[in-house]
Amino acid sequence: NAGVTQTPKFQVLKTGQSMTLQCAQDMNHNSMYWYRQDPGMGLRLIYYSASEGTTDKGEVPNGYNVSRLNKREFSLRLESAAPSQTSVYFCASSEALYQPQHFGDGTRLSIL
């Protein structure tokens, strides 16, 4: 009954370091998403993958890259972390676009 699993749950980086956030879903969903949530704001879409083999930019893609590794996994990479990328990152999945999205518990990322 895992749903959407994100790793790690917490991470502290120094400016300029790189890292990859991992996301996996076990619901056989076609679509997956990466969001960031900053204090006092709603979520903002970074990238999404409508189906295996496709990825598209969302509202705030700059500074990020994604890989849809297979139907289950969708990773988010920060190539050169900046303090402005300090945020809580959420991964979500849905059966298809426009269907209810299921969320992971988030990754809390701090960049010093």
Partner 1 sequence: KQEVTQIPAALSVPEGENLVLNCSFTDSAIYNLQWFRQDPGKGLTSLLLIQSSQREQTSGRLNASLDKSSGRSTLYIAASQPGDSATYLCAVDSNYQLIWGAGTKLIIKP
Residues that bind partner 1 (CB under 8 A): 4, 33, 40-45, 48, 50, 56, 58-59, 90, 92, 97-98, 100-106
Least separation, in Å, of the C-beta of 24 and partner 1?
14
**Is the N-terminal amide bond of 8 cis, ω within 30° of 0?**
yes
| Residue number with CB closer to partner 1 (74 or 90) | 90
Shortest distance (Å) from residue 105 CB to partner 1: 5
Residue closer to partner 1 by CB (options 4, 78) is: 4
Which residues are bridge partners to 35 per DSSP? Answer: 45, 90
